[in-house]
Amino acid sequence: MGDNGKRYDAEFKADAVKMVRESGRSAASAAKDLGINPQTLRDWLQEDQE
């Protein structure tokens, strides 16, 4: 698999995770507003829990 995906900085990831955790919104809803793939945000949420 190639390494051609978008790169997001740590601050963007942290803000996205915070948005989901503090607002109670679904990852899919937040991802749509942020313009990112919902699975990407779910991955970040999982990484944040570990």
Q: Tens digits of per-residue pLDDT, 2-40?
A: 556 678 999 999 999 999 999 999 999 999 999 999 999
**Among candidates 29, 28, 46, which has minimal Cα distance to 38?**
28
pTM: 0.82
Confidence of residue 50 (pLDDT cuts 50, 70, 90): confident
Would you state the pLDDT for residue 6?
Answer: 75
How many CB atoms lie under 10 A from the CB of residue 20? 21
Answer for the pair 34, 16: CB distance below 8 angstroms, yes or no: yes
Written in H, E and C, the secondary structure of 27-48 is HHHHHHHHCCCHHHHHHHHHHH
How many CB atoms lie under 10 A from the CB of residue 47? 10
pLDDT of 1 higher than 70: no
Calculate mean pLDDT across residues 36-48: 97
